[in-house]
Amino acid sequence: MLELWGISKSYGDHKGASGVSLFAPSGSRTVIVGPSGSGKTTLLRLIAGFEAPDAGTITLNGRQLEGIPPHRRNIAYVAQEGALFPHMSVGDNVGFGIPRQATDRSRRVEELLEQVGLPAEFRNRRPHELSGGQQQRVALARALAQRPDLMLLDEPFSALDTGLRETMRTMVGDVLRDAGIASILVTHDQAEALAFADHLVVMRDGRVADAGPPQRLYARPADIETARFLGEAIVLASVIHGGVAKTALGDVPVLQDDAERADVLVRPEQITVAAEGNGALGRVLHRSYRGAQWRLEIECRDGGLPEPFSVDVPASLDLRPGDPVRLSVNSEAYVFPR
């Protein structure tokens, strides 16, 4: 269990982190996500010990980390592009953290390579002979070699192609689970965060905006900005009466006491789009073809929605720009706390 209590760190005028408290349960996959400059990398560097916090404490499995230099923390760190040592072979890279005296050194290097899906022959290659994905695999094997208490991953997939990114994510997740190592991954990509995390922390301006299981954060975020950060969000001003919110998109069921003013969150997948029928009247602004669906951009000015929003509809629904549409919300919506 990693615990951060009231961590603050500033660089001159820039606040990297201010009063951050967060918890990463043992064996969990924690993801810290946020836009660039939100302080997520700062947190990672503080945990690794590359920098010291101005205030606050960090403990790992009950051990206070203050004053302990990085090389005595047993926390592995995988940098953005792997940071393989260019002057060493793959085998020497992987074996870097294994004591020189260890008799099973060479066997362990091979095992580790196999674990990350690389053939044992790769041990004689040089880092520059590997592709980006292979470099990341070696970096992971190298980090696993030290049998760390915690694995820190600093945007490890951001340099990879989209397709490869997903494969690598799955592989890393599986390897870490099998090895039983808790991990903290930092990313600015919300899709990656949702896919990897079983504990998600959203950072903004050096603070924790929200933290918890990813499903909860997506469906019931703490505030509007978090909602928008994690996916397309339609926020409707409404009046709530008797478990029903009166919104621009019609009546929407909510679990909330009566209120004169409330902000209701609707995700695009909750919206039913029809060519006719009843429901709020909208207009198609633009459409783009996605194969299985059309992505429509719809405005609903009459209903009082200032911004157009995007929603996917089946490819069979042939709505053209300018066509009127009927909109309704098909499931229970979430009301932001005031």
Partner 1 sequence: MAVSADLAAAEATKVRRAAGRISHPVILGAATLTGLLSLLPLGFVVYIATTSGWGTIADLVFRPKVGGLLVNTLTLMALVLPLSAVLAVALAWLVERTDLPFAQLWSWLVIAPLALPAFVHSYAWNAFMPRFHGLGAAVLVSILAYLPFLYLPVAAQLRRLDPALEETAQSMGKRPAVVFFLVVLPQLRLAIMGGALLIGLHLLAEYGLFVLTRFDTFATAIVDQFQSAYSGPSANLLGGVLVLLCLGLLGLETGLRGTERYARVGAGAARRRGRLSLGKWRLLALLLPLIFAALSLAVPVLTLARWLWSGGAVIWRFDFIMPALGQTAMLALAGAILTTLAAVPMAWLSVRAPGRVQKILEASHSYVGALPGVIIALALVTITVQVALPLYQTVATLIFAYVLMFLPRALVGLRTSIAQAPVELERAAASLGRPPIAAIWQTTVRLAAPGAMASAALVALGITTELTGTLMLAPNGTRTLAMRFWSYTSELDFASAAPYALLMIVLSIPLVIMLHMQSDRVEQA
Token code pair at residue 158? 């951001």
Residue 223 CB, nearest approach to partner 1 (Å): 30
Best CA proximity match to 186, nearest among 175, 170, 197: 197
Q: Could you list the residues that contact partner 1 (CB under 8 A)?
A: 48-51, 69-87, 96-97, 126-128, 132, 135, 139, 142-143, 145-146, 152, 159
Length of the chain: 338
Task: Tell me the residue ranges of DSSP E strands in 242-308.
Answer: 244-247, 250-253, 259-266, 271-274, 280-289, 293-299
- For partner 1, which is the closer residue by CB, 104 or 302? 104
**Is residue 3 packed enough to be buried (19+ CB in 10 Å), middle (13-18) or exposed (0-12)?**
middle
- For partner 1, which is the closer residue by CB, 47 or 249? 47
- For partner 1, which is the closer residue by CB, 1 or 83? 83
Rounded to whole angstroms, how far apart are CA atoms 205 and 208? 8
- For partner 1, which is the closer residue by CB, 159 or 274? 159
Rounded to whole angstroms, how far apart are CA atoms 319 and 316? 9
- For partner 1, which is the closer residue by CB, 19 or 97? 97
Residue 74 CB, nearest approach to partner 1 (Å): 7
Token code pair at residue 145? 């070699």
Apex 243 CA angle, 241 and 249, nearest 5: 80
Residue 41 CB, nearest approach to partner 1 (Å): 9
Residue 207 CB, nearest approach to partner 1 (Å): 22
Residue 110 CB, nearest approach to partner 1 (Å): 19
- For partner 1, which is the closer residue by CB, 81 or 189? 81
The number of helices, as runs of H, and strands, as runs of E, in the chain is 8, 20
Best CA proximity match to 252, nearest among 308, 183, 335: 335
- For partner 1, which is the closer residue by CB, 75 or 202? 75
Residue 83 CB, nearest approach to partner 1 (Å): 4
Amino acid at 88: M
Residues paired with residue 246 on neighbouring β-strands, in sequence order: 239, 251
Rounded to whole angstroms, how far apart are CA atoms 66 and 47? 10
The answer to whether 201 and 30 have CB atoms below 8 angstroms apart is: yes
- For partner 1, which is the closer residue by CB, 4 or 84? 84
Main-chain dihedrals φ then ψ at residue 322, nearest 5 degrees? 100, -25
Residue 134 CB, nearest approach to partner 1 (Å): 11
Residue 100 CB, nearest approach to partner 1 (Å): 11
The residue written with tokens 């629904």 in the block is 317
Rounded to whole angstroms, how far apart are CA atoms 63 and 73? 10
